[in-house]
């Protein structure tokens, strides 16, 4: 934990951003925030200064965190007319003519575009880290997120005490873009595991076994996983409130498939999981938790793991 209170910006106070920003405020740091919707009550009550624009946040804060949904959102927040970059350009120069501020994008976006964004911020004399997270709403609230970071080591070390307020497993993977590449790999693994758990529970239920007891038995064997533990329970109990929305996971799998095309590699299982999520979205379920991917399997089986409430 940093010993001296810092001036921090936080842009994007959604399901994930709200608890993350809250941990920074509880540690005694001064927050300047903005978000598309109404600022959550807990952030307003923390003493955070609410700014009208991302530019205003960047003008006030020394380190600016972003937590927004997609690549175009990050680009707009950074480089729009009232964006972060405009605020950085209006800041006083630091040592050696550098503005000395740092932008930390904790959204999950394109690794390729991230490298472009980092270069543009660097050209303003500022540092840039891409630091996407894994752990969902539960991890954000518990400050136990996994944080995958790309960027200069010196910048990482300077920001790491703040990451430690939000997460537990914090790794500098490499240069700018490598954090986002790691997050895409994470989302591939998570999606395929959700699909596997969904298939297993649909199979077990259709065969006449109690899916709750099947899940309990499997938790003691080699098939045990966090996905089986958390999302398997959601499938059995039919609790599909996000969490992490299908629509957002679709976006991440599309990034994986776009990257695969650019790299000339095949990701057949990822493509299959993406189609299951597309089937859910086509049936109006894109706002449900990504564990609801099981519903696409249930549609094909004409059988639900458990009856919906």
Integer Rg of the chain from CA? 21
Strand, coil or helix: what is 63?
strand
Count of Cβ atoms closer than 10 Å to residue 9 Cβ: 31
Spot the catalytic one: 101, 115, 183, 251.
183
Q: Which of 37, 44, 32 is nearest to 15 (CA)?
A: 37
Please state, in angstroms and rounded to a whole number, the distance separating the CA atoms of residues 131 and 171.
Answer: 9
- Give me the count of residues in the chain: 309
Residue 137: is it exposed, middle or buried by C-beta count within 10 angstroms (0-12/13-18/19+)? middle
Please state, in angstroms and rounded to a whole number, the distance separating the CA atoms of residues 179 and 184.
Answer: 9
Q: Does residue 215 have a cis peptide bond before it, meaning omega lies within 30 degrees of 0? A: no
Please state, in angstroms and rounded to a whole number, the distance separating the CA atoms of residues 67 and 109.
Answer: 10
Query: What is the DSSP secondary-structure string of 218-248?
Result: HTTSTT--HIIIIIHHHHHHT----SSBHHH
Please state, in angstroms and rounded to a whole number, the distance separating the CA atoms of residues 151 and 58.
Answer: 19
Tokens of 5: 């209170």
Sign of CA dihedral 20, 145, 88, 26: positive
Annotation says 183 is catalytic = yes
End-to-end CA distance of the chain: 44
List Cβ neighbours of 22 (8 Å cut-off, separation of 6 or more).
42, 43, 46
Active site residues: 183
């Amino acid at each position: 934990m940093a010993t001296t209170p810092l001036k921090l910006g936080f842009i994007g106070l959604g399901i994930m951003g709200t608890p993350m920003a809250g941990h920074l405020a509880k540690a005694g740091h001064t927050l300047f925030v903005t978000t598309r919707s109404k600022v959550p009550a807990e952030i307003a009550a923390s003493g955070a200064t609410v700014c009208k624009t991302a530019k205003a946040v960047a003008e006030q804060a020394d380190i600016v965190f972003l937590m927004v949904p997609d690549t175009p959102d990050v680009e707009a927040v950074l480089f729009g007319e009232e964006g972060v970059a405009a605020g950085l350009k209006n800041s006083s120069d630091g040592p050696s003519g550098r503005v000395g501020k740092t932008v930390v994008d904790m959204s999950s976006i394109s690794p390729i575009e991230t490298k472009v964004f980092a270069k543009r911020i660097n050209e303003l004399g500022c540092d840039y880290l891409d630091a996407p997270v894994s752990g969902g709403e539960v991890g954000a609230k518990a400050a136990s997120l996994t944080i995958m970071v790309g960027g200069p080591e010196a910048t990482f070390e300077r920001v790491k005490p703040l990451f430690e307020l939000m997460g537990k497993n914090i790794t500098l993977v490499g240069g700018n873009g490598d954090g986002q590449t790691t997050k895409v790999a994470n989302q591939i693994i998570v999606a395929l595991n959700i699909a596997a758990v969904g298939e297993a529970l649909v199979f077990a239920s259709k065969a006449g076994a109690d899916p709750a007891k099947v899940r309990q038995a499997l938790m003691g064997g080699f098939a045990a996983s966090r996905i089986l533990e958390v999302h398997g329970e959601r499938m059995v109990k039919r609790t599909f409130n996000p969490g992490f929305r299908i629509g957002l996971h679709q976006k991440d799998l599309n990034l994986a498939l776009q990257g695969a095309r650019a790299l000339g590699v095949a990701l057949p299982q990822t493509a299959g999981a993406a189609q299951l999520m597309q089937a859910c979205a086509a049936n109006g379920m894109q706002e449900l938790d990504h564990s609801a991917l099981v519903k696409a399997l249930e549609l094909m089986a004409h059988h639900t793991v458990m009856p919906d409430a």
